[in-house]
Amino acid sequence: MREKIVYTLGILGTILLLWNFYNIFLVIPIDALQGDIFRIIFIHVPAAITADTFYAVAVIASIGFLVRKNFAWDSLAVSAVEVGTMFTLVNLATGSIWGRVEWGIWWAWDARMTSQLMLFLLYLGYLLMRPAIAEPQQRGTMSAVLAIFAAADIPIVTMAIRLHNVRTQHPGPVLETGGLAPVYWPPFLTGIVAFLLLGTAMILVRLHQETSRREIDSLRRELHAI
């Protein structure tokens, strides 16, 4: 049953993604002002939205672990952080490429990119710390605390970046203009849905791996108990 869900989501997501790529790269007309590189927005922003969604899931799962002490929550948290971090990397990479083509620089300290970089650093710390703790209860608890701290930091990061940009008065290149013309909404939304489907499939796979590990652990437990 679970496998069927994973396959369905995965295949659906992949088809949607490929169809969307076809649309993005070959069908949609891009106005001359923004250039072809603008097409990358359909990967860049949906990746960020997907990553942020999964980070939110991770924080909720972390709180769930602290409250309920059930390791399923911990497994969900680490899976969501891993997949979220992957999408953040996609976002950072596409942002960098876009900046290079559009502005000639590999990295522009614009507000959104900086915010995503911060998220990446925060949750990278989470992923680095986990292997350093051998005991599962301790590992789950410390990870949960770290995830909550990271989430609490995000709104303050937004405040800080805004402050910094205002004070230093660096206009800086902005990668996205505020609004997206309605003609672009379909591929944009499709991109988000595709990423969410694929991401969820990946989380389920990772979750299953964690669950299997715990099953093996509990079998070992029973063996010790005899």
Nearest-approach distance from CB 37 to other proteins, in angstroms: 29
Q: Residue 10 in 3-state DSSP?
A: helix
Footprint on this chain of other proteins (rule: CB under 8 A): 66, 69, 118, 121-122, 125, 128-129, 132-138, 141-142, 144-146, 148-150, 152-153, 156-157, 159-161, 163-164, 167-168, 217-218, 220-221, 224-225
What values do phi and psi take at 85, rounded to 5?
-65, -40
- Cα 191 to its chain centre, rounded Å, is 14
Alpha carbon separation from 224 to 28, 211, 218, 219 (Å, rounded): 62, 20, 10, 9
Nearest-approach distance from CB 215 to other proteins, in angstroms: 11
Nearest-approach distance from CB 101 to other proteins, in angstroms: 28
Compare residues 32 and 225 and give the one whose CB is closer to other proteins.
225
Compare residues 2 and 213 and give the one whose CB is closer to other proteins.
213
Nearest-approach distance from CB 54 to other proteins, in angstroms: 18
Alpha carbon separation from 116 to 6, 89, 154, 157 (Å, rounded): 28, 9, 10, 10
Compare residues 116 and 190 and give the one whose CB is closer to other proteins.
116
DSSP 8-class letter at 25: I
